[in-house]
Amino acid sequence: MTASDAAARGGGRDPSLAPSPWSRAIALALVAYVIYASAQMELSWDRFLVGLDNAQRFFGRLFPPNFERAELLWKGLKESLEIAVLASTLGILLALPVGLFAARNLMPPWVTWPARLVIVLARSFHPVIVAILFVKAVGFGALAGILALTVASIGFIGKLLTEAIEEISDKQVEAIRATGAPFTSVLAFGVVPQVFGRFIGFATYQLDSNLRNSTMVGIVGAGGIGGTLFAAFQRFDYDFVCAILIAIIALIMAGEILATAVRAIFIDNATLRDLFRRGALRRVRHAEDD
C-alpha cells in the first residue's frame, strides 16, 4: 500500500503533496513584492475610477469612424504591408545560416557561440527601440522600419530554427553521413525534411508578427501606418484614429488568413481548390448546425 493510499484511507493528506518551506517562502516573498510594487506605482481604486471616466469620454469620441481620408489611410497600410513583407523576407534569409550555425549538434563550439551571440543581440531589444536607433542612423522613413523588423526576424527565426535543428533525430543524419555524403547533402536530406514543417510555421508567424510591429515602428518615424496614427492622435482627430484602428485589424486578419493558407499549402500539400473547398464545407456545416 502506497503512502497516497494510506493517506486516502486515513482521511489525511499525502505528505509528498504538502508544500515545502521554500515554496511557501517564495510565495510569501512574491505576494510581498506585489504589494510593494503596487504601492510604489501609486495604484489606487480612485485612480482606476478616474481612468474609467476618461476612457468613457475617449471611446465616445472614437465613434463613428471617419473614412473620408481613405487615400491617406490606404497609403499608410500599403507601406506597412511592404515593410512587413520585405523585412520578413530579408530576416528569414539571414536567419537561416545564423540558425544553422548556432545548432550545437551540427557545428563546433567556435561556430555556435558567435551565432548564438548574434541571436541574443537581435532579441535583446524591442523592435520599437531598434527602430529608434535606425531612424537616427538612416533617417525617417520605411528603410528604418525594414531594418528594425529584419533584426527582430533574425532573432526570432534564428532562435526557433536552432532549437528545431537541435531536436531532430540523429539517426537520419548519421545514416546519410555513413554513405560519405557531403555536408550539403546531409542538410538537404537529413536536416531539412525534419524541420521544414516547423520552419514554415515559424516563417508565417514572423510575417504576422511583422505586420503588427510595422504599425508600431511608424510611431517613431520608421514608416507605415503608425506615423499616420500618431499624427491623428496629435490632432485629436479621434474618429480618424478609429478608422485607422479598424483598418489595422483588417490587415492583421488578412495576414492571419494568408498564413493559414500558406501552412496548408506547404505542410498539408493543399491546392487552391482544396482551400476554397474547405471554406465551402465549413459554410455548409455551419448552415446545417443552424
Confidence of residue 117 (pLDDT cuts 50, 70, 90): very high
Distance of CA 27 to the CA centre of its chain: 30
Residue with cell 493528506: 13
Cβ-count burial of 230 within 10 angstroms (0-12 exposed, 13-18 middle, 19+ buried)?
Answer: middle
Q: What is the DSSP string of 73-105?
A: HHHHHHHHHHHHHHHHHHHHHHHHHHHHHT-TT
Query: What is the predicted pLDDT for the residue at 288?
Result: 46
The pLDDT tens digits for 157-216 are 989 888 888 888 888 878 878 887 787 787 788 887 888 888 888 888 888 888 888 888
| Cβ partners under 8 Å of residue 203, min gap 6 | 88, 92, 157
9 pLDDT tier (thresholds 50, 70, 90)? low
Res 281: pLDDT: 45
* Domains identified in the chain and CATH numbers: 72-280 (1.10.3720.10)
Residue 39 CB neighbour total at 10 angstroms: 10
pLDDT value, residue 272 = 63
Burial class (CB in 10 A: 0-12, 13-18, 19+), 1: exposed
Beta carbons of 72 and 228 less than 8 angstroms apart: yes
Of 10-14, 209-213, 236-240, 250-254, least confident by mean pLDDT is 10-14
pLDDT value, residue 90: 92
Which of the 8 DSSP states describes residue 15?
G
Average of per-residue pLDDT across 258-271? 74
Q: How many CA atoms lie within 13 A of 205 on its CB side?
A: 11
The string of pLDDT tens digits covering residues 47-102 is 777 778 787 877 877 788 888 787 888 888 888 888 888 999 999 999 999 988 98
Distance CA 195, CA 130 (A): 29
Q: What percent of the chain has pLDDT over 90?
A: 7
Using one digit for the tens of pLDDT, what is the confidence trace for 121-170? 988 888 888 889 988 888 888 888 899 999 999 988 989 888 888 888 88
Tell me the average pLDDT across 13-18. Answer: 57
Mean pLDDT score, 250-279: 73
DSSP letter for 64, please: S
Q: What is the pTM of this model?
A: 0.75
Which secondary-structure segment (H or E) carries 210? helix 192-217
* pLDDT at residue 6 tops 60: no
Residue 95's closest CA among 183, 165, 190, 184?
Answer: 165
CA distance 195 to 187: 10
pLDDT number for residue 94: 92
Residue 252 C-alpha cell reads as 492583421
Residues 102, 115 contacting (CB under 8 angstroms): yes
Quick one: pLDDT at residue 86? 92
Q: CA 20, CA 134: separation in Å to the nearest integer?
A: 50
For residue 149, the model assigns a pLDDT of: 92
